[in-house]
Chain A
């Protein structure tokens, strides 16, 4: 009954440090997503992966890289963290059934602060 699992839940970094946010889903979904949530701005798509081995940029990809390691896992990497990347990061997954977009399932988020 895990759904989408994100690690870590909290992290504090110094400017210039790097880190990788991990995401795994156990629902056998093809599509996975990374969003950031900032006050008053809703959720904005950073990157997404429509299937294993493919990734595409979303609305705010600068400063981030992603890896779709396999069907279950989709990681987000900050190579050189900046204070502007302080945010809450959400991973999600979804599928298409009978040609209809199914709802995305979300993890509990990673709260990242960059000093």
Chain B
């Protein structure tokens, strides 16, 4: 069984400030972890993925995430927020030998000018 918890359904940050979106997972097998972004009225786009290689994963648009097994976390960060980062972000987990994804409930990011 696997699950994902995203803390904070809404996060607001000022333009230029640090973005931190939290994701904690549980998985009975080694996990694969993903962050997706959804812009209004669009589908989901992959930001980055963890597949058991490096624990610090760099993605598109300046985002990165660090896999911390001891904390069962995979938080998403960006050093400096841009107005174009306003969107909804989803963390998702799948397990070794099982392609099915389990999604978190999402975090809506608002950027304050």
Main SS of chain B's interface residues?
strand
B50 to chain A, nearest CB (A): 11
Which residues of chain A come closer than 8 Å to B49, judged between CB atoms?
103
Structural contact, A40 and B100, CB atoms closer than 8 A: no
Q: Which of B44, B98, B104 has the most CB of A within 10 A?
A: B44
B32 to chain A, nearest CB (A): 5
Structural contact, B101 and A45, CB atoms closer than 8 A: yes
Interface residues of A in 91-110 (CB under 8 A from B): 92, 94, 96, 100-101, 103-109
B3 to chain A, nearest CB (A): 11
A41 to B49, CA, bound (A): 22
Which residues of chain A come closer than 8 Å to B45, judged between CB atoms?
106
With A101-B32, A106-B44 as contacts: A40 and B101 at CB distance below 8 Å: no
Which residues of chain A come closer than 8 Å to B103, judged between CB atoms?
42-44
Interface residues of B in 1-30 (CB under 8 A from A): 9
B10 to chain A, nearest CB (A): 11
A90 to B38, CA, bound (A): 12
* A48: Cβ under 8 A from any B Cβ: yes
Structural contact, A42 and B43, CB atoms closer than 8 A: no
* B46: Cβ under 8 A from any A Cβ: yes
* A75: Cβ under 8 A from any B Cβ: no
* B51: Cβ under 8 A from any A Cβ: yes
Which residues of chain A come closer than 8 Å to B51, judged between CB atoms?
100-101
Interface residues of B in 56-113 (CB under 8 A from A): 90, 94, 96, 98-101, 103-106
Q: Which residues of B contact A (CB under 8 A)?
A: 9, 32, 34, 36, 41-46, 49, 51-52, 90, 94, 96, 98-101, 103-106
Enumerate the 9 nearest inter-chain pairs by beta-carbon distance, A residue then B residue, closest first: A106-B43, A42-B103, A42-B105, A106-B44, A43-B103, A108-B43, A103-B46, A101-B32, A101-B94
19 A-B pairs (CB sep. < 8 Å):
A33-B100, A40-B9, A42-B90, A42-B103, A42-B106, A43-B44, A48-B100, A90-B43, A92-B44, A94-B99, A96-B99, A100-B52, A101-B51, A101-B98, A104-B99, A104-B101, A106-B36, A106-B43, A109-B41
